[in-house]
Amino acid sequence: MTPNFTKDRKDAILWAKSLFQHPDSYVILDTETTGLENDDVIVQIGVIDLNGNELVNSLIKPSKKTSISMGATNIHGITMRMLQDAPHFKDLIPQIEKVVNRKIALIYNSEYDTRIINQTCRQDGCKSLRITCDCAMKQYSKYVGEWNERFGNYRFQRLPSGDHSAVGDCQATLKLLKKLASET
């Protein structure tokens, strides 16, 4: 596949502009986790609307996982001690579903976050979170336009200006989406 950088960049800009034409149809969601492996789970979740209002901001106590990798703690600063009085993910599902109901969740790296959400649900022994999502990272990667020959797609880009807290990264994603939407 040969990329059309100009068209793809324009498509990413138009995608971002369309979000703000119907802001009540979207939320931005982010998670922080115990690590990156197949048994890792969520330790913090944030959801905001396209006006930047916090809809969900909670630490999460893992139901079975008893440690956070040192690498993850070095990034987000969350320790197991901080989670002692936090709710379990299954207890937050009704609140999360209420704010994402009939909306599209914009997630920076949606493949990772949806995998972690599903892993957390399995570990908690609860129903899967019903969520429709779109990946802001893939759109931003099209906008930046660095082609990855090895994988035949646009090179994934780090989230600019995130602070590695769930709500902070939601706010950074919102800032990025506004930047794209302001392009001509």
HSE, side-chain direction, 13 A CA sphere, residue 84: 2
| Token pair 């909306």: residue | 103
Residue in 54, 33, 57 with CA at minimum distance from that of residue 123: 33
- Looking at residue 34, its pLDDT comes to 95
Give the structural domain span for 73: 5-182
158 secondary structure, DSSP code = P
For every one of its 184 residues, what pLDDT tens digit does the chain have, with 9 covering 90 and above?
Answer: 678 999 999 999 999 999 999 999 999 999 999 998 888 999 999 999 999 999 999 999 999 878 999 999 999 999 999 999 999 999 999 999 999 999 999 999 999 999 999 999 999 999 888 899 999 999 999 999 999 999 999 999 999 988 999 999 999 999 999 999 999 8
164: CATH: 3.30.420.10
The domain total for the chain is 1
Q: Answer whether 0.75 is exceeded by the pTM.
A: yes
